[in-house]
Amino acid sequence: METVSKQEYMRILSELDLLTTKFVALEQENQKLLGDLQQVSVEKAQQHEELSKRVQQLEAVVLSLRQQASTSQSLLKEPKISLPTKFDGTRSQFRGFLNQVRLIIHMHPNRYPTDTTRVGLVGTLLTGTALAWFAPLLEKKSPILENFDTFINEFQASFGDTDSVRTAINKIRRLRQGDRPASAYAADFRLLACDIPWDEAALMDLFRHGLRNDVKDLLLTFHDEPKSLTEAISRAVRCDNRLFERRSERQQMSTRLRSEQTYASALASPPLAPMQVSNPNSFNGPTPMEIDAARRRGPLSEAEKQRRRANRLCLYCGGPGHIAIHCPHRPKRQLNQVSVQNFDSCSPVKVNKPRTLVSDPQSNSFDVLSQLDELLNE
288 has pLDDT over 80: no
Highest average pLDDT, of 9-13, 46-50, 258-262, 374-378, comes from 46-50
Percent of the chain surpassing pLDDT 90:
30
User: What is the rounded average pLDDT of the residues 319-336?
Assistant: 70
- In sequence order, the 6+-apart residues with CB closer than 8 A to the CB of 285 are 307, 311
Q: pLDDT tens digits for 39-61?
A: 888 888 888 888 888 898 898 89
**In the prediction, which pLDDT does 295 show?**
47
Radius of gyration (C-alpha) of the chain in whole angstroms: 55
β-sheet bridge partners, residue 320: 313
* 96-106 per-residue burial string, b: 16 or more CB within 10 A, e: under 16: ebbebbeebbe
Residue-range domain boundaries for the chain:
91-159, 164-264, 300-377
Q: How many other C-beta atoms are found inside a 10 Å radius of the C-beta of residue 373?
A: 22
The 3-class secondary structure across the chain, one letter per residue, is CCCCCHHHHHHHHHHHHHHHHHHHHHHHHHHHHHHHHHHHHHHHHHHHHHHHHHHHHHHHHHHHHHHHHHHHHHHCCCCCCCCCCCECCCHHHHHHHHHHHHHHHHHCCCCCCCHHHHHHHHHHCECHHHHHHHHHHHHCCCHHHHCHHHHHHHHHHHHCCCCHHHHHHHHHHHCCCCCCCHHHHHHHHHHHHCCCCCCHHHHHHHHHHCCCHHHHHHHCCCCCCCCCHHHHHHHHHHHHHHHHHHHHHHHHHHHHHHHHHHHHHHHHCCCCCCCCCCCHHHCCCCCCCCCCCCCCCCCCCHHHHHHHHHCCECCCCCCECCCHHHCCCCCHHHHHHHHHHHHCCCCCCCCCCCCCCCCCCCCCHHHHHHHHHHHHHC
User: What is the rounded average pLDDT of the residues 181-194?
Assistant: 92
Taking phi over 0 as left and psi of -120 to 50 as alpha, with beta for the rest, 344 belongs to beta
Q: pLDDT tens digits for 338-370?
A: 443 443 444 444 444 444 444 444 444 455 555
Q: pLDDT tens digits for 62-93?
A: 988 887 776 666 545 667 788 889 999 898 88
pTM of the shown model = 0.43
CB 329 within 8 A of CB 317: yes
**In the prediction, which pLDDT does 332 show?**
61
